[in-house]
């Protein structure tokens, strides 16, 4: 399973169950990477997302592990739950200084063979 997330200059990934910023380049990047894929999202992230054309959205289930997906797309607790399974981690660094209430996940248990890709927008 791959993972994709975006973080701003201050280490925030969101506020009140949504992104802090609107960055069209990053949204296009997200779409290009995840198109024609099965995406895993936690309950809150799942509820807050619009329909994602060309992608199947799967909601995480508390107490279970879902393995038949291509991407983990958040939120914070879902990244932390599944990070031991990530084969790739795609991190978009957004040039933004907004203050949010959701910080970068604790990836202490990240799969040691996971490849990390960094992008700047």
Cis peptide before 75 (omega within 30 of 0): yes
Contact predicate 19/104, CB 8 Å:
no
Q: What is the mean pLDDT of residues 2-25?
A: 95
Would you state the pLDDT for residue 17?
87
- Summarised one tens digit per residue, pLDDT across range 59-108 is 999 999 999 999 999 999 999 999 999 999 999 999 999 999 999 999 99
The predicted model scores a pTM of: 0.96
pLDDT of residue 109: 98
Question: What CA–CA distance (Å, rounded) separates 101 from 121?
Answer: 21
33, two tokens: 């990477």
What are the tens digits of pLDDT across the range 12-23? Answer: 999 998 899 999
- Which domains, and CATH codes, for the chain? 2-120 (3.40.430.10)
Q: What is the pLDDT of residue 82?
A: 98
Q: Per-residue pLDDT averaged across 103-117, rounded?
A: 98
């Amino acid at each position: 399973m791959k993972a994709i997330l975006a973080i701003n200059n201050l280490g925030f990934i969101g506020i009140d169950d949504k992104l802090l910023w609107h960055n069209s380049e990053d949204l296009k990047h997200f779409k290009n990477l995840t198109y024609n894929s099965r995406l895993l999202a936690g309950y809150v992230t799942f509820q807050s997302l619009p329909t994602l054309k060309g992608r199947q959205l799967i909601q995480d289930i508390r107490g279970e592990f879902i393995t038949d997906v291509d991407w983990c797309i958040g939120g914070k607790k879902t990244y932390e739950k599944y990070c031991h399974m990530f084969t790739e981690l795609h991190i978009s660094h957004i040039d933004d200084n907004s203050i949010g209430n959701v910080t970068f996940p604790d990836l202490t248990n990240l799969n040691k063979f996971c490849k990390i890709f960094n992008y700047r927008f």
